[in-house]
Amino acid sequence: MPHFRLRGTSPTLTHICRLSYLASVDLIQVLSCELVQRRQRSPRYSLRAFARDLGIDHASLSQLLRGRRVLSPRLAKKFGAKLQLRSAEIAETCENHNAQAILRLSRTAGFRPNSRWIATRTGLPLDAVNVALARLLQQRQLIMESPTRWKFPATYHA
């Protein structure tokens, strides 16, 4: 479980959002909070300006924030560095997003309980898939009932 150190003397909205996601860092949520925080400081601060500060085009950022685009590990690392997250937090975020990608895939027709198939369909490296599967097993988000049947309890919302 990641631990977050508060930087500075007073917790900011971003910090509070981070603290509310102790068990599962959600970088999209952190980004959303960061945007709200910056807008509170400067009401004219735009999504376009935020995208520029993060080093991404504003259309892509908009899609990410609306959940219409999957956050790649590469972008997670990039945003993590921009938002000064620690490497452990960035790694945790990447693993969380990989797990979410598998959970999303599990809801599609024709899902196969096979790491290689999952890697091909998600575009994730095979090892990243297996790390995510182990994480889902530990969190009871995945139950391997039989060689051909994996169950994903609906308690996890990606």
Q: Is 148 in the site for another protein (CB under 8 A)?
A: yes
- Report 38-57 residues binding another protein (CB under 8 A): none
Instruction: Answer yes or no: are the C-beta atoms of 150 and 113 closer than 8 Å.
Output: yes
Taking CB under 8 A as the rule, does residue 114 contact another protein? yes
Using CB under 8 A, pick the residue from 56, 115, 121, 152 that binds another protein. 115
Contacts (CB under 8 A) with another protein, residues 116-145: 116, 119, 126-128, 130-131, 133-135, 137-138, 140, 143-145
Distance (Å, whole) CA 77 – CA 85: 9
Whichever of 50 and 150 has its CB closer to another protein, that residue is 150
Give the up-direction half-sphere exposure of residue 46: CA atoms within 13 A in the CB hemisphere. Answer: 6
Question: C-alpha angle with apex 74: 21 to 143, nearest 5 degrees?
Answer: 55
DSSP structural state of residue 140: T
CB of 135 to another protein, least distance (A): 8
